[in-house]
């Protein structure tokens, strides 16, 4: 029988995390209309709420020469794996598949299409990061306990340093959000901080 109340273990949040701009990328996970727009098929309000915070982070990152990489969840019209779970969503080429207008990629940004929760599975993401000499990732986006958590796991298992601003990720509910933070910290040893706590060291 499941307990009615679960005590949340201590989850450390760093005031500040500093990464060199040359070896750092911001990974924006699945900030697409179906997830982060009120008219999206799998919209959750918390996904919409993080948009201005991520935009603020991206502005600072670009001004510091930090590379920006987006993951774009991508499915065919008859996806046999995820559609039985979630229903049709982010079908390639649809409005829901597009990245939200407020966070549109700009020239020089990289977009990686992925078919599963893990952005490293079946994609060139790891190769892209290593090609550009990236060893540090700042991960933001949605959904915290699904695609964001798998992004953090995939990065850490490949020995990247990972920071996650806790006010730059969103979940479907509070339990999933806290559970994701616990796993990122306890299991994968990612560093948790805030959007304003991320510092990009100047280029040299």
pLDDT at 204: 52
**Left (φ > 0), alpha (ψ -120 to 50) or beta: where does 65 sit?**
left
Catalytic residue among 30, 73, 118, 185: 30
SS3 63: helix
The predicted structure's pLDDT at residue 98: 98
Chain mean position to CA 68: 12
* Cα angle for residues 35, 27, 125 (degrees, 5° grid): 105
Second CATH level (architecture) for the domain 17-198? 3-Layer(aba) Sandwich (3.40)
Q: 109 an active-site residue?
A: no
pLDDT in tens, the chain (204 residues): 888 888 999 999 999 999 999 999 999 999 999 999 999 999 989 999 999 999 999 999 999 999 999 999 999 999 999 999 999 999 999 999 999 999 999 999 999 999 999 999 999 999 999 999 999 999 999 999 999 999 999 999 999 999 999 999 999 999 999 999 999 999 999 999 999 999 999 755
* DSSP for residue 7: P
Instruction: Return the beta strands (E) in 13-76 as ranges.
Output: 17-20, 24-29, 67-73
Compute the distance between CA of residue 119 and CA of residue 13 in angstroms, rounded to an integer.
25
Q: In the chain, where are the structural domains located? A: 17-198
Q: Is 34 a residue of the active site?
A: no
Structure tokens of 119? 């952005």
Residue 43 exposed, middle or buried by CB count within 10 Å (0-12, 13-18, 19+): middle
From the list 58, 10, 63, 62, the residue with the least C-alpha distance to 181 is 10
Catalytic residue among 73, 79, 147, 185: 147
Task: Specify whether 147 is catalytic.
Answer: yes
> Is 0.75 topped by the overall pTM?
yes
Choice among 79, 114, 118, 185 that is catalytic: 114
């Amino acid at each position: 029988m499941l307990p009615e109340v679960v005590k949340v273990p201590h989850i450390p949040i760093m005031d500040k995390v500093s990464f060199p701009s040359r070896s750092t990328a911001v990974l924006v996970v699945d900030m697409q209309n179906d997830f982060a727009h009120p008219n999206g098929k799998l919209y959750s309000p918390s996904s919409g709420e993080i948009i201005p915070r991520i935009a603020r982070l991206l502005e600072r990152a670009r001004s510091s020469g930090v590379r920006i990489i987006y993951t774009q969840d991508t499915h065919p019209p008859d996806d046999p794996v995820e559609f039985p779970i979630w229903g049709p969503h982010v079908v390639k080429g649809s409005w829901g598949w597009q990245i939200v207008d407020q966070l549109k990629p700009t020239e020089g940004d990289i977009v990686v299409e992925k078919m599963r929760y893990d952005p490293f599975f079946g994609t060139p993401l790891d190769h892209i990061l290593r090609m550009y000499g990236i060893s540090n990732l700042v991960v933001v986006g949605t959904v915290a306990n699904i695609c964001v958590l798998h992004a953090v796991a995939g990065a850490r298992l490949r020995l990247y340093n990972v920071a996650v601003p806790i006010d730059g990720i969103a979940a479907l509910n509070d339990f999933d959000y806290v559970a994701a933070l616990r796993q990122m910290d306890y299991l994968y040893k990612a560093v948790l901080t805030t959007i304003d706590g991320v510092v990009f060291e100047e280029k040299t």
